[in-house]
A = this chain, B = another copy of it.
Amino acid sequence: MRISRITVTVVAVPDLPLRNVIGCHQPYALRNIIQVHTDDGLVGLGEMPGGTQMRVELEQAAAQLIGTDPFALEPLRVRFRDRPKVQAAFEVPCLDLMGRATGRSVADLVGGAVRDRVPFSAYLFFKFATPDDWLGTPVGTPAARAPLGMFGAHDAVLTPEAMVGEAEAFIRRYGFRTLKLKGGVLTPAQEVETLRLLRARLGPAYRLRIDPNGGWSVQDAVAMIPALEEIGLEYYEDPVTGADAMAEVARRTTIPLATNMCVTAFADLPELAARRMAKIVLADHHWWGGLEALRQLGRFCEIFDLELSQHSNTHLGISMAAMVHAGATVPGLVYASDTHYPWQQGWDIVNEPFEFDQADGSLAVPKGPGLGVTLNEDAVHRLAEVAAAVPAEHRDDEAVIRRWFPEWAPKHGDVFRRLIT
């Protein structure tokens, strides 16, 4: 079995004006859909962030893989040393191919599942109400103007009280038992008040997290600690930016700190081991080099008594499948993983969209073969047409929010901006 052809297709999927520390989401999120074909007619699937720049980088890398064996994962990593995104982009479709060739699931091929279901967390965003022309201009295709069909109306969620309603809708629809609040948007006090209202409404059984994306000062982050400890937080994610600031906050609280901003690569791990400025690493197979890399990161965390959860960006069903296989096979991944998946409901490009268990927000591990998902060619075609019509080639959350706040100039978010673009 040899790789005979690789295609990379940019798709644009509708998204809502979800707010974050630097601005808000664009009307469309760009993803790259990777199809790795073999000489015996199999196709392995992959999905990566980004638009044209990522597509070009992936296509250049893909040319080097023609004629190679999909089982040759470690040679792939050696070939693209220091380019973990490229490793991940092709490791996942190669694992999918290995599964299709052997009749086994990806989970089986990366060590076997230690759990049958993988827990996920609600990802709660403050958001603007969707303008009437949100998807219409500047795209202009009929597909792009189609209704989103998400949770009925798209009302604004800009207050602590509104967020409680949003959380209840998520719980009702998806069963989540863990809720993550995307912070760094209102004031720290308002966001902590949001958590307090959530705790009051939901009781002690739900796990709560907050992620200000490094947007709080150390002073604010420390000032919030007494209230957060009283509310009861599962973890405190990137309240501040940089290892020094994280270490300072970590020293002041019994709540474990989590990060996907000051630890984003294997090269960051010696400092983490030495300073322990976070207890929980939010792993992302797209960033770290793939599923095997997450298992190696998992071993690292075991060695140093650190813990693991999964980070997420806006994504579709191929990434969802890979995240579930990762979540099933890394023993230390006991926290509910983040996922943006609910925000794109109805727009997936796989024929087997994922359904969260309404009892606990978990997903079943696909039985395979491979990732256990197949491509909905029509959906890909439609979202690729949208992508072709979207002028933006990379994510620019700051430009979008100026529609609401013309004078917008984010005070924080340098690291966040670098990570998402």
- A interface residues (Cβ-Cβ under 8 A, vs B): 69, 71-78, 101-102, 104, 108-109, 111-114, 266-267, 269-270, 273-274, 292, 295-296, 299-300, 302-304, 329, 331
Contacts and interface: CB of A to CB of B under 8 A. Distances in A.
A56 B102 CA distance: 35
Given A78-B331, A296-B295, A329-B74, A303 B269 contact: yes
Among A112, A269, A292, A331, the most chain B Cβ lie within 10 Å of the Cβ of A112
Given A273-B270, A273-B273, A274-B274, A75 B113 contact: yes
A111 B266 contact: no
8 contacts: A69-B108, A71-B112, A73-B111, A73-B112, A269-B303, A273-B273, A295-B296, A299-B300
Q: Please state the number of chain copies in the assembly.
A: 2
A329 B73 CA distance: 10
B303 A270 contact: yes
Contacts of A102: 101-102, 104
A367 B334 CA distance: 37
A74 B110 CA distance: 9
B329 A112 contact: no
Given A75-B114, A111-B292, A266-B299, 15 more contacts: A69-B108, A71-B104, A72-B108, A73-B111, A73-B112, A74-B329, A76-B112, A77-B111, A101-B102, A102-B104, A267-B303, A269-B303, A273-B273, A299-B300, A300-B303
A302 B269 CA distance: 11
A203 to B, nearest CB: 32
A211 B303 CA distance: 27
